[in-house]
Amino acid sequence: MRRLLPGHGASRGSALGRARVRNPHALQVAEQRIRSSEVEHELARLHTAVDAARTEMHDLRTRLHGALAREVGEFLELHALLLDDPELLQGLDELIRKGRYGADYALRLQRDRLAAVFEGMDDAYLRSRMDDLDHVIGRIHAHLHNRAADAEGLAGEILVAETVAPSELAQLQAQGVVAVVTSTGSALSHSAILARSLHMPLVVGASQALSRISDGDALIVDGDSGQVVVDPSARDLRHYRQRLKDAAREQRELDRLRGKPTRTRDGVDIALHANAESRTDVAQAHALGAAGIGLYRTEFLFLQRNALPDEDEQFRTYRDVVLGMSGRPVTIRTLDLGADKADRTGLALRGEDNPALGLRGVRLSLAHGEVFDTQLRAILRASGYGPVRVLVPMVAVREELLEVRKRLKRLTAQLRRGGHEVAAEVPMGAMIEVPAAAICVEHFIDLVDFLSVGTNDLVQYLLAADRNNDALGELYSPLRPALLRLLDTVLRTGREHGKQVTVCGEIAGDAAMAPILLALGLEHFSLHPSNMLELRRAIRGHDRAALLASAGKLLKARDRAGIEHWLKGKSQ
């Protein structure tokens, strides 16, 4: 029967597909004993399932090409190794042979046993292997029931899960998943940012998804409104087709703005830079006429892999981004691992009590000096190929910037001595995403060449509201007077000192927020290329002088309703 489930749209676009439900407790198999006469049969069932999982992974590996093969390949290789692990396999055989358990229950017991071992490990890297073990066990379990875990089954499917990790999204897309619905999570999480970069429709916070969607249900997912329709009616299907047509028409209309300037009605040019994670983003940014890359998130190079990328690999990646932008400036952000961007390399700590307040961003880099130097050397080398700027994430205090500057100076001299070309100028900037840095921006602006405001984190730290916690409802929102006041401080200080200020949080890509940012005097927006034409259209419809003149009123708003009221008066 048709059901309508509400959620929050986190990555735009619509998809029609078949539900693949990933239950967080899929292995809550009830205790299952077998008779001695059934032991051989149960062992054979298990071994067939393990073989099928092995073949499945091998097939998947051979079907991947290009960058995906590199990104996902390592992950699959590790899973193949786990599948051959005698600890796992012999343990299972014993549970069936001696314990007289059915294969499903043996799988669960073995999973729980190994989980306890992993949990007790001191080494963060080894502890992080638990996710991989769960993947492998899930694959075997699926094959026990003659169901390929994903390789063959996922094409055209919509994953319904409690959460989805940034590290698995690319793999899901490679396997043919057309959309994702999660019962928790927020549109500002890194998974959501990555889904937008992959153009994969995503609905988060659909709290009833796991209880009201079953494997195999037909779903229509609307990544704009956040609605999920289960068992769509003929009318829903017609609407869905109409939406696809409307989206194509809207796209054609927006396409006319390609190559047009981003100029306000009163003739002021606004620079639109791109946020990029992948080569596709860079190509798109170039094609849409972005002023440059305003935020290249390097951590995605460190996710989905088990070893750190070395200097040469990083250098080639950054150099290709620089070459891809043909002379337009590329702002490369140093590693911002930690919190929800936990890696597989073991660099980011697991199990911190408060990861968002923990060892992340520049703190993590400074704690791993060699890893940081390797990255800085790779970035400096890339500057030989075109204009590069270095952006430091999560800056809280002046001392951090002094330390990064010192390193840049030392490494530049070292590289030049070694015969490498490093640009005469590699501007360094700070991300403003910690309230202390925003409040005291005046105290360290002398150390930087530019600033970039990361509103995604700034909102979370300012309101003490986790950007991934949907239980906080509307609290996490950029429509807060405290945020506007800080934005005003940072933009004003930047102007006074002649330093460029960019906003690179998700707010910068939201056409509906453009009047606020223009009113506060923002001239440099950095956003995902997929929103660029829409933002260009919005900016072209506004009169900047009139907005600047009403900034005073905006800053007097005492609550969200006040800001919304101001915004309403500015809508086109």
Residues in contact with ligand PEP by CB under 6 A are 193, 295, 297, 336, 433, 454-457, 504-505
The answer to whether the annotation marks 467 as part of a ligand binding site is: yes
Q: How far is the CB of 308 from ligand PEP (least distance, A)?
A: 19
Burial status of residue 354 (CB atoms within 10 A of its CB: 0-12, 13-18, 19 or more): exposed
- Closest separation between CB of residue 88 and ligand PEP, Å? 36
CA–CA gap between residue 11 and residue 31 (Å, rounded): 41
Is 59 flagged in the annotation as binding? no
Return the number of the residue (193 or 200) whose C-beta is nearest ligand PEP. 193
Closest to ligand PEP by CB, 103 vs 276, is: 276
Only one residue has tokens 């093969």, namely 69
Closer to ligand PEP by Cβ: residue 411 or 448: 448
Asked if 457 interacts with Mg ion (CB under 5 A), we say yes
Q: Decide: 391 and 333 in contact? Cβ < 8 Å.
A: yes
x-marked contacts with Mg ion along 376-415 as a string, rule CB under 5 A:
----------------------------------------
Q: How many other CB atoms are found less than 10 A from the CB of residue 116? A: 9
With CB under 5 A as the contact rule, which of the stretches 148-156, 362-370, 415-423, 430-438 interacts with Mg ion?
430-438
Which of Mg ion, ligand PEP, none does 505 bind, CB closer than 5 to 8 A by kind? Answer: ligand PEP
Dihedral over Cα of 198, 200, 206, 208: its sign = negative
Q: Is 352 annotated as a binding residue?
A: no
Burial label, 396 (beta-carbon count in 10 A; 0-12, 13-18, 19+): middle
470 binds Mg ion (CB under 5 A): no
CB-based burial of residue 134 (10 Å sphere; 0-12 exposed, 13-18 middle, 19+ buried)? middle
Asked whether residue 252 is marked as a ligand-binding residue, the answer is no
Token pair for 440: 């005291």
The reply to whether 457 sits in an annotated binding site is: yes
Assign residue 191 a region (left: φ > 0; alpha: ψ between -120 and 50; beta: otherwise). Answer: alpha
Q: Does 157 bind Mg ion (CB under 5 A)?
A: no
CB closest to ligand PEP, residue no: 454
Minimum distance, C-beta of residue 293 to ligand PEP, in the bound complex (Å): 13
Cα–Cα distance, 293 to 390 (Å, whole number)? 11
Nearer to ligand PEP, 187 or 203 (CB): 187
Dihedral sign, Cα of residue 361, residue 365, residue 366, residue 367: positive
Q: How far is the CB of 360 from Mg ion (least distance, A)?
A: 9
Q: Which residues are catalytic?
A: 190, 504
Q: Which of residues 433-452 bind Mg ion (CB under 5 A)?
A: 433
Q: Which lies closer to Mg ion via its Cβ, residue 222 or residue 433? A: 433
Picking from 396, 300, 337, the residue whose alpha carbon sits closest to that of residue 124 is 337
Answer with the entry of Mg ion, ligand PEP, none that 192 interacts with (C-beta below 5 to 8 A by kind). none
201 part of the interface to Mg ion, by CB under 5 A: no
Picked from ligand PEP, Mg ion, none, the partner binding residue 297 (CB below 5 to 8 A depending on kind) is ligand PEP
Give every strand in the sheet of 3-5, ordered side by side: 3-5, 228-230, 218-222, 14-22, 157-161, 179-182, 202-204, 8-11
Nearer to ligand PEP, 183 or 275 (CB): 275
Which is closer to Mg ion, CB of 356 or CB of 548?
356
454 binds Mg ion (CB under 5 A): yes
Residue 152 CB partners (closer than 8 Å, separation 6+):
56
In the list ligand PEP, Mg ion, none, the entry touching 171 (Cβ below 5 to 8 angstroms by class) is none
Q: How far is the CB of 340 from ligand PEP (least distance, A)?
A: 9
Give the integer Cα–Cα distance in Å for 186 and 466.
9
- Kindly tell me the sign of the dihedral angle through the C-alpha atoms of 176, 179, 182, 188: positive
- Residue 71 touches which of Mg ion, ligand PEP, none (Cβ within 5-8 Å per kind): none
Instruction: Please report how close the Cβ of residue 86 comes to ligand PEP at its closest, in angstroms.
Output: 41
* Cα(558)–Cα(242) distance, integer angstroms: 41
CA distance 41 to 328: 65
Query: What would the two tokens of residue 2 be?
Result: 């048709």
382: which 2 tokens? 């890339």
Residue 428 Cβ vs ligand PEP, minimum distance, rounded to whole Å: 17
Q: Residues at the annotated binding site? A: 297, 333, 433, 456-457, 467
Instruction: Give the residues lining the site for Mg ion (CB under 5 A).
Output: 433, 454, 457
Q: Residues at the annotated binding site for phosphoenolpyruvate? A: 297, 333, 456-457, 467
